[in-house]
């Protein structure tokens, strides 16, 4: 249950510590005192969206912390699943809202996400407000109300699992039928891909090794070309060696001349050196290996690979993947007729299975609808709607995620009138009572420990308000109930009465929350009944009303 709420700098609430009992907690106060701020704070600490406008003017941030105790097994299991500790079966949820709009969520002082806060908060608190009344007005949401009451979650989940399998099977069948339609054209294309790429018999990383080998082979070819050119320049007709020999012939007959003789000898040495270089070049050329056939193979294979990469607009790895995918798809196309028949049979089996489960679901809903009508009718009769008549419009149609059923709650508040959709006949006060009746019977089904009612007294007064108060106190015996009200008939039923009071201090508005003792309750109830400065008679009446509740329960 929600043991305590701490609020700091939330709108007009500067700071407040709010203790709560495990039964019926009632909040009262003048209009505009800040009762809605309290609900906004609880919504924020439950992980719902919050606005920077909630931060008190002039403050950096607002802080709301909620302490929950006596956690039940469902909540403890969820906390264990999320890895959240819970010493003494207690946890604290905190939400900090910064003035710049950012917010921080914490669980037991550890930073968390708002979504996790919300996941846990939804197991701890159920808030009733105007939004819930809108659910009543939306007939499409009625089936969820009835399913919650019927406790058919296991049946529904089992059906939904089958329905999703049926959907998947139908999608697969549809895709295969489309493929069948264009099978011939697709097969021709796949054949081309398989023949072209398959003929190369590509292997992983082959391209890298081919390019490396091609670079080495290509370099050897260039070396041999250069060596041969060098030999030709030395030994060819009219080249280096021949020119040197010609120069020697010109100088030979003048070798008696000392200076010419020296130059002749040097030329002879050059001729010998050039001849020697030429011989070594020839030898080196012979030693350098070149497999011209291998080089040509490498050139052609890399060329073919590059052509296919360009054609299919992919890299080398993409070619291998395209080939493998094409082979797999071609095999599927070849066997698609058999596969198609198997899928048709599978879909028919799933359709039968899902339909049978939908029928069981429908039968269960039909049975629980009868009990639902009886229980809600009894609750509404107690809540001062004695002539109420309820009916469930139950129609069956095609299979959907929620089964084959469309269910709508119909109601008549007056004797002799045919039940009609809630949206067409229910007033604000009737909506509040219908929702309270629903919450009352659903409280028997779920395990959410805390129920919050905001504006449950909309459009009601007098004896009806008294009945609502009695019903809230009754629920408070099995669930913690928190209720914001402006009616004395509801306020007198409180096990724990808290006053939300607005004051002006140093030209600033401040809202404080006080836990009222018996005397304080008498004064507050009298104020609600008769306004400010209640008379002694009004105070006596208020006291009598509070005591009457205690006497009734004795």
Bridge partners, residue 505, by sequence: 508
Residue 253: CB atoms within 10 Å: 9
Three-class secondary structure assignment of 162-184: HHHHHHHHHHHHHHHHHHHHCHH
Cα–Cα distance, 412 to 419 (Å, whole number): 4
Cα–Cα distance, 131 to 483 (Å, whole number): 16
Domain extents in the chain: 1-129+455-516, 196-333
| Residue 258 in tokens | 């000392």
**pLDDT for res 420:** 87
φ/ψ bin of 334: left (φ > 0), alpha (ψ from -120 to 50), beta (otherwise): alpha
**Alpha helix stretches (DSSP H) within 443-535:** 462-475, 488-491, 518-530
Sequence-ordered strand ranges (E) for 99-177 = 103-107, 110-112, 125-128
Q: Is the Cβ–Cβ distance between 103 and 96 less than 8 Å? A: yes
Cα–Cα distance, 343 to 272 (Å, whole number): 90
Residue-wise pLDDT tens digits, 451-471: 998 878 877 888 888 998 999
Cα–Cα distance, 315 to 305 (Å, whole number): 10
How confident is residue 359, by pLDDT bands cut at 50, 70 and 90? very high
Greatest pairwise CA separation for the chain in angstroms? 160
How confident is residue 218, by pLDDT bands cut at 50, 70 and 90? low
φ/ψ bin of 503: left (φ > 0), alpha (ψ from -120 to 50), beta (otherwise): beta
How far CA 529 is from CA of 151, 520, 538, 551, in Å, comes to 42, 14, 8, 21
How far CA 165 is from CA of 160, 337, 340, 379, in Å, comes to 9, 21, 17, 41
Residue-wise pLDDT tens digits, 153-164: 899 999 999 999
Q: Which of 212, 196, 213, 214 is nearest to 320 (CA)?
A: 196
Cα–Cα distance, 386 to 520 (Å, whole number): 36
Q: What is the DSSP string of 32-98?
A: TSSHHHHHHHHHHHTT----GGGBPTT-SEEEEEEEE-S--HHHHHHHHHHT---GGG-EEEEEEEE
**pLDDT for res 289:** 56
Q: Is the Cβ–Cβ distance between 20 and 492 less than 8 Å? A: no
Residue-wise pLDDT tens digits, 237-262: 657 766 777 767 666 677 677 777 77
Cα–Cα distance, 196 to 312 (Å, whole number): 11
Cα–Cα distance, 159 to 152 (Å, whole number): 11
Mean pLDDT value across residues 313-338: 84
**pLDDT for res 68:** 93
Distance between first and last Cα of the chain: 26
Mean pLDDT value across residues 525-551: 87
Q: Which of 496, 377, 495 is nearest to 433 (CA)?
A: 377
**pLDDT for res 515:** 93
Residue 153: CB atoms within 10 Å: 10
| pLDDT cut 90: percent of the chain above it | 28
Q: Is the Cβ–Cβ distance between 509 and 57 less than 8 Å? A: no
Cα–Cα distance, 453 to 35 (Å, whole number): 12
Q: Which of 525, 469, 460, 467 is nearest to 497 (CA)?
A: 525
Q: Is the Cβ–Cβ distance between 450 and 124 less than 8 Å? A: yes
How confident is residue 348, by pLDDT bands cut at 50, 70 and 90? very high
Q: Is the Cβ–Cβ distance between 68 and 3 less than 8 Å? A: yes
Residue 543: CB atoms within 10 Å: 18
Topology of domain 1-129+455-516, CATH? Rossmann fold (3.40.50)
Cα–Cα distance, 64 to 98 (Å, whole number): 12
Task: Kindly state the DSSP code that residue 503 receives in the 8-state scheme.
Answer: E
Query: Which residues, including other chains, have CB under 8 Å from residue 329's CB and lie 6 or more apart?
Result: 186, 190
pLDDT beyond 60 at 130 = no
Q: Token match 């011939």: residue?
A: 184
Q: Is the Cβ–Cβ distance between 223 and 285 less than 8 Å? A: no
Name the more confident of 425 and 374. Answer: 374
**Beta pairing, strands 450-454 & 125-128:** parallel
b/e for 76-100, b at 16 or more Cβ within 10 A? Answer: eebbeeeebeeeeeebbbbbbbebe
How confident is residue 369, by pLDDT bands cut at 50, 70 and 90? very high
pLDDT beyond 90 at 493 = yes
Bridge partners, residue 502, by sequence: 511
């Amino acid at each position: 249950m929600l043991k305590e709420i701490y609020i700091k700098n939330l709108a007009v609430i500067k700071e407040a510590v709010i203790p709560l009992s495990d039964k019926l907690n009632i909040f009262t106060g003048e209009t505009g005192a800040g009762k809605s701020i309290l609900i906004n704070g609880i919504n924020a600490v439950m992980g719902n969206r919050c606005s920077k406008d909630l931060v008190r003017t002039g403050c950096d941030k607002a802080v709301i912390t909620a302490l929950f105790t006596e956690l039940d097994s469902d909540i403890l299991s969820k906390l264990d699943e999320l890895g959240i500790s819970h010493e003494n079966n207690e946890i604290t949820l905190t939400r900090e809202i910064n003035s710049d709009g950012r917010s921080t969520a914490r669980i037991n002082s550890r930073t968390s996400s708002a979504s996790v806060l919300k996941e846990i908060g939804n197991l701890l608190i159920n808030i009733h407000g105007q939004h819930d009344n809108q659910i009543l007005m939306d007939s499409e949401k009625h089936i969820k109300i009835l399913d919650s009451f019927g406790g058919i979650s296991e049946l529904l989940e089992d059906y939904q699992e089958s329905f999703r399998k049926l959907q998947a099977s139908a999608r697969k069948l549809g895709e295969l039928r489309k493929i069948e339609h264009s099978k011939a054209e697709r097969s021709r294309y796949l054949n081309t891909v398989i023949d072209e790429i398959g003929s190369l018999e590509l292997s992983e990383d082959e391209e890298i090794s081919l390019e490396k080998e091609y670079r080495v082979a290509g370099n050897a070819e260039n070396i041999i070309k250069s060596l041969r050119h060098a030999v030709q320049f030395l030994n060819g007709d009219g080249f280096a060696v021949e020119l040197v020999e010609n120069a020697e012939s010109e100088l030979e007959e003048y070798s008696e001349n000392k200076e010419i003789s020296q130059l002749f000898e040097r030329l002879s040495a050059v001729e010998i050196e050039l001849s020697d270089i030429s011989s070594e070049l020839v030898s080196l050329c012979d030693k350098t290996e070149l497999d011209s056939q291998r080089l040509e193979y490498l050139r052609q294979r890399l060329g073919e690979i590059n052509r296919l990469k360009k054609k299919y607009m992919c890299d080398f790895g993409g070619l291998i993947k395209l080939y493998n995918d094409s082979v797999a798809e071609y095999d599927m196309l070849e066997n698609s007729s058999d596969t198609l028949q198997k899928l048709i049979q599978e879909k028919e089996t799933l359709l039968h299975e899902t339909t049978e489960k939908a029928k069981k679901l429908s039968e269960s809903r039909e049975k629980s609808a009868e009990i639902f009508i009886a229980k809600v009718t009894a609750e509404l009769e107690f809540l001062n709607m004695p002539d109420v008549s309820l009916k469930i419009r139950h129609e069956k149609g095609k299979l959907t995620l929620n089964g084959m059923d469309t269910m709508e709650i119909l109601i008549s508040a007056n004797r002799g009138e045919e039940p009609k959709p809630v949206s067409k006949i229910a007033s604000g006060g009737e909506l509040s009572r219908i929702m309270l009746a629903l919450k009352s019977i659903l409280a028997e089904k779920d395990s959410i420990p805390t129920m919050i009612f905001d504006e449950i007294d909309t459009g009601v007064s007098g004896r009806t308000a008294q009945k609502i108060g009695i019903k809230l106190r009754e629920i408070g015996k099995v669930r913690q109930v928190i209720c914001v009200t402006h009616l004395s008939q509801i306020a007198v039923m409180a096990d724990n009465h808290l006053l939300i009071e607005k004051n002006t201090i140093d030209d600033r508005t401040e809202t404080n929350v006080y836990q009222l003792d018996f005397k304080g309750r008498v004064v507050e109830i009298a104020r609600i009944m008769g306004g400010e400065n209640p008379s002694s008679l009004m105070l006596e009446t208020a006291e009598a009303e509070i005591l009457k509740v205690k006497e009734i329960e004795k």
